[in-house]
Structure formats: C-alpha cells, structure tokens
Amino acid sequence: MTGSIDDDRVKQIVEAALLAADEPLTVERFVKLFKRGELGAEEGRKAVREALQRLTDEAEGRGYELKRVASGFRYQVRQELSPWVSRLWEEKPPRYSRALMETLALVAYKQPVTRGDIEQVRGVSVSQNIMRTLLERGWIRVVGQREVPGRPSMYATTRAFLDYFNLTSLQQLPPLAEIKAMIEPILVDEPTNPQPQVDLPDAADSQDPVVADVPSDDHEPEDVETRAALAEVVRLPTPSH
C-alpha cells in the first residue's frame, strides 16, 4: 500500500495543481489527485482544506492571492495591481454598451428572465447581438422555456459570470443602487441612436436570485472587496492573469 503523504507534501501538490490548472479547482478535484492510501478517506478533504488555508495565508502581502470563486479555487493577480499587470497585453480591456450592461444587470437580478421581460423593463427591444455576446462570453445561459405562447427562452447567469467577478454566489451581488451610481461614467460612448436610460428595479422588487451551482465544501463569509468588485459590473475589468 502506498504510504501516506505528510502535510507539507500535500500543500506542495495542491500549490502545483493550482499553478498548472487553467480553471478553478474544487476540493474534490484536489482529493482525486491522490491515490488510495496517500490520504485517509476522512482526512483527505480536511488535509486539502488545510493546505488551501496555508497557501492563502502565505499569499498575504504578495502580488497574487488564492481566491475562491464559484467554480473552485484559483491563483490570481490582486485586483489593485491590474493597471500595471494589464500592460503586458497590448489589447485594451473590453468596453460594452449601456444596452448590453443593463441587459446583463437585469438578468443577474431578475433571473430567470426572457427577452420580453428585459424589454418590458428597458422600454426598448433587446438586440439579438446583445444576447449573443452575453452567451458567447459565457455570462448567461438558457435555463428553460416559459410555458406561454411561443415558449420564449429564459436566461440566467452562469458560474463563469460569478468567476469573472470573484464571487462564490449571487448572494454577494451588491445593491442595485451601487450599480446605478457607477453606470454613467464608465460606459462606452454611444454617439448615435442613444438608448433611453433605464430605471433598473429596486432590489426589494427583484425576485430571489437563482443561485448558480457552487462547490459546497465550505461556507465562506461574505467578502466586502468582492462585493465592490461586482459593483463594477458595468466596467468589466480585465480578468486576473
């Protein structure tokens, strides 16, 4: 039988996996890296969590952090350093129209919604290009059809949406008022045929959000910094590298 692995080696393996992976990893994914006998059946998950906590602590004061998002854990550059790190890439961060960002906000806060629901709130038609862009970015997905004539598709946000904004669940979405206050100065200019300004619904009027599937390994306290980051939903910061 393979001998058990000590805590320091477990931490090294977890760290190496984080560096090698191109996506967030769950505790279950880490546990599966070990053969039977290398970690005890009961102690395996605990050992991985302890390794993750040690790596989190060791990243304090560094230019990167170990972050838990909806899909698991990942290393990422600290958000406050992105203005400098982003200069490694020539392309500019994407900027999107008011119409697209209002649509995304409505999906996030009122999901599941149809295009008709969005159009009713915005007062104008929603371009198919907007929905296609959000689908291609992986921020929204079709979750079903409403049982009404025509059976329109219903949309909701995805884990990729949560991952992009460093969130573990929709429970961390900030009040809509914060988004309203930030939407004006940071949207791309639309000099022709401007869309009418939308009165986004108050949080009290929105439906209970449908929470995307989130790894259920632990419950983490709400992170004020990530709430502030998602308040910049209309800004779409460059993803951490």
For 84-129, write each residue's pLDDT tens digit.
988 888 776 667 788 888 888 889 888 899 999 999 888 888 888 9
Mean pLDDT, rounded, for 198-223? 40
Give the mean model confidence (pLDDT) for residues 9-20. Answer: 95
In the predicted structure, residue 182 carries a pLDDT above the cut 60: no
CA distance 103 to 94: 17
Lowest mean pLDDT of 3-7, 24-28, 147-151, name the range.
3-7
3-state DSSP assignment of residue 87: helix
Number of Cβ within 10 Å of residue 6's Cβ equals 10
Highest mean pLDDT, choosing among 80-94, 136-150, 179-193, 225-239 = 136-150
Distance CA 81, CA 163 (A): 18
Average pLDDT of the chain, as a whole number: 76
Q: Which residue has the tokens 């009404």?
A: 148
Q: Does the structural domain 7-87 have CATH classification 1.10.10.10? A: yes
Helices (H), ranges, the chain: 7-20, 27-31, 43-58, 82-85, 98-110, 115-122, 128-137, 159-164, 176-186, 224-230
CA distances from 2 to 5, 12, 34, 36 (A): 9, 18, 10, 7
Range name among 60-69, 75-84, 186-195, 225-234 with the lowest pLDDT average: 225-234
Residue-range domain boundaries for the chain: 7-87, 98-230
Looking at per-residue pLDDT, the higher value among 208 and 153 belongs to: 153
CATH value of 98-230 in 3.30.70.100, 2.60.40.420, 1.10.10.10, 3.40.50.170: 1.10.10.10
- pLDDT score at 93: 63
What pLDDT shows up at residue 240?
44
Structure tokens at 136: 């291609």
Q: CB neighbours of 58 closer than 8 A, spacing ≥ 6?
A: none
User: How many Å apart are CA 82 and CA 155, to the nearest integer?
Assistant: 31
Please report how many Cα atoms fall inside a 13 Å half-sphere around the Cα of residue 178, on the Cβ side. 13
Q: Say if CB 198 and CB 105 are below 8 A apart.
A: no
Q: Is the pTM of this model over 0.75?
A: no
Confirm if 198 and 122 have CB atoms less than 8 A apart: yes
Closest C-alpha among 165, 153, 163, 89 to residue 126: 153
Report the amino acid identity of residue 232.
E
CATH topology of 7-87 equal to that of 98-230?
yes
173, pLDDT greater than 90 = no
Say yes or no to pLDDT of 143 above 60. yes
Residue 78 CB burial class (10 angstroms; 0-12, 13-18, ≥19): middle
